[in-house]
Amino acid sequence: MTESSTRCGYVAIVGRPNVGKSTLLNYLLGQKISITSRKPQTTRHQVLGILTEGPDQIIFVDTPGMHKEQAKAINRYMNRAANSALAHVDLILFIVDRLRWTPEDEMVFNAVKAASAPVALIVNKIDMLDDKAVLLPYSEKLLATEDFDALFPISALRKNNLKTLRQYLGEKMPAGPHFFPEDQVTDRTERFLAAELIREKIVRQLGDELPYTTAVEIEAFKHEGKILHIDALIYVERAGQKAIMIGEKGSRLRSIGTEARKDMEQAFDTKVMLKLWVKVKSGWSDDDRALRSLGFDER
């Protein structure tokens, strides 16, 4: 293919917490690169997902959910990461949850309006609507009152209407050469993905007890023969949280490790030996220096 026949561009996926941004990205890519859970603020970093199909290369920028509460350094970091994604993209996907429009949705909408890229509104989780007949008048009202480039009612989880969305995305990409090799699916390293898979299991299993007070650092990541050895350190902020993370006779930590290892073996296509430790790092989530040391960069 010549450069004149290929298309390539960046697409920011934005919205308030827990509207399905990472789920949508994973299904569009056909594989998991962003962790998901039912808990808000699961995504903490910008993650690039790269979809190359035929002449099209679409580079998705998955972002943390924008939220009004910025009490801690980590909250401020996540909002900066989400806002910075809007600056240099060719298209913005603004995702909302069904017919709900909250003050945080309004905050995100004001941010995307200030960006120069066209905005497509994605109404997600339509499979959970009791009466889908309300979708049409709701969509027509939004298109009439706001300057959206397009509107797509979808279910990322059920893959409803994703083919139509995918076709639209390709058509919106500018002509030009591909920026990444066709077999590359993310800009993040395997070490980063390993840490995120561990954190996903923590959020899913302990989201009510330890919602946002954990971080994961990979201390060792090495291949020995056919086995990938991974050592990871889980940080919590208080001794009581460490006890919860470990569980009775280590049961919770083993459960987290078992689930994370299964996903790692699938992601890395090799046998994995995973070792986990828990350490108290008081106040890490409100300490800019600690955040940088744990990989919260300003990319």
The SS3 call for residue 253 is: helix
- The domains located in the chain, with CATH, are 3-172 (3.40.50.300), 190-293 (3.30.300.20)
pLDDT at position 192 over 60: yes
From residue 144, how far is each of 81, 99, 279, 299 by CA, in Å? 31, 16, 53, 36
Between strands 227-236 and 271-280, the pairing is parallel
Q: DSSP secondary-structure letter at 57?
A: E
pLDDT of residue 51: 95
pLDDT at position 145 over 80: no
Tens of pLDDT, residue by residue over 27-85, are: 899 888 886 656 555 555 678 899 999 999 999 988 765 645 655 665 665 666 556 77
Look at residues 76, 51, 56 and name the one whose alpha carbon lies nearest to residue 66. 76
Look at residues 77, 49, 50 and name the one whose alpha carbon lies nearest to residue 64. 77
Mean pLDDT for the chain overall: 85
The structure tokens listed for 41 are: 């603020």
Lowest-confidence segment of 30-44, 130-144, 214-228 by average pLDDT = 30-44
Tens of pLDDT, residue by residue over 108-135, are: 888 888 888 999 999 999 998 888 888 8
Strands of the chain, DSSP E = 7-14, 47-53, 56-62, 91-97, 119-124, 150-153, 215-224, 227-236, 271-280
pLDDT of residue 73: 61
From residue 125, how far is each of 12, 26, 135, 141 by CA, in Å? 19, 15, 12, 19
